[in-house]
Amino acid sequence: MLFYLTTHKRHWVRLTDVPLFLKSEHFIAARTLPVAIGRYAVDSGGFSELQNRGRWTRTPRQYITDLRRIWENVGPFDWAAPQDWMCEPLIIHGGKAGPLTFVGTHLSVAEHQRRTVANYLELRELAPDLPIIPVLQGWELPDYERCVDLYERAGVDLTAEPLVGLGSVCRRQSTREGAAIVTALAGHGIALHGFGFKTLGLEKVGHLMATADSMAWSSHARRRPPLPGHTTHKNCANCIEYALAWRTRVLNRLPQQPSALAA
């Protein structure tokens, strides 16, 4: 499993060759872009888009324009996520989770899945040269199986794709239900990317995925005092030294991870 360190700091791509995962929105507002010295992947920012607006405000054509600018200036990325539609109940129905407010799309899981597949097909048509991956969305296991069928009916063989994202699992990735979903989909022969997987989830099902990403280091650091010598900030929630050390600790706890550590 290749493990991407998720960050909101775009300049980190020129500071480390550890694989990084960044939202496209962290690049598009910048006048000049840093050149990456290592591999990285790009997230579309769908969770915050649907959380705050209940819909996508960037058109597929604009998203492709943004991705091309990133590719040409930062450097070729491993892959980019499509503009998929998450299926968490809060995303669909709206509500509050702690300090977070969700406006809700007020659509069905099936409609979110239909729009996810349709967007991938449109992006692939607009930019067949860019490595945009399909993403499986759903909530219960039968939903994900239905999403596999949607792709198949659209002529997309997920088992032939180099990577397929697994959405709407990150908040339950360490649960029995989350593990069952990963196990079933991996059993189809699909090379999965786990979005937002934390330590417990990686320990349970990391061996079943091709890649995963996590930003858990930031919340972890927020609850602890800063590293020795880091006297200019009250915690290391934005600190690359802390993030890299956290990544190493996580990978050292996982079985069969030498290739990820070396990446």
Give the pLDDT confidence score for residue 262 in this predicted structure.
38
Domain limits at 217? 2-262
Structure tokens at 184: 């079933």
* Phi and psi angles of residue 193, each rounded to the nearest 5 degrees, phi first: -110, 125
Can you tell me the distance from the alpha carbon of 235 to that of 222, in angstroms, rounded to the nearest whole number?
A: 6
- In sequence order, which ranges of the chain are alpha helices (DSSP H)? 25-28, 46-53, 60-73, 89-93, 109-126, 141-153, 176-187, 199-205, 216-222, 240-253, 258-262
Number of domains in the chain: 1
State pLDDT tens for residues 35-93: 999 999 999 999 999 999 999 999 999 999 999 999 999 999 999 999 999 999 999 99
12/166 Cα distance (integer angstroms):
25
pLDDT at 216 over 60: yes
CA distance 137 to 255: 28
pLDDT band at 127 (very low <50, low <70, confident <90, very high): very high
User: What's 144's domain CATH number?
Assistant: 3.20.20
Q: Are strands 95-97 and 40-43 parallel, antiparallel or unpaired?
A: unpaired
pLDDT tens digits, one per residue of 178-205: 999 999 999 999 999 999 998 888 989 9
* Residue-level pLDDT at 259: 43
What pLDDT, in 10s, does the model give residues 137-181? 999 999 999 999 999 999 999 999 999 999 999 888 888 899 999
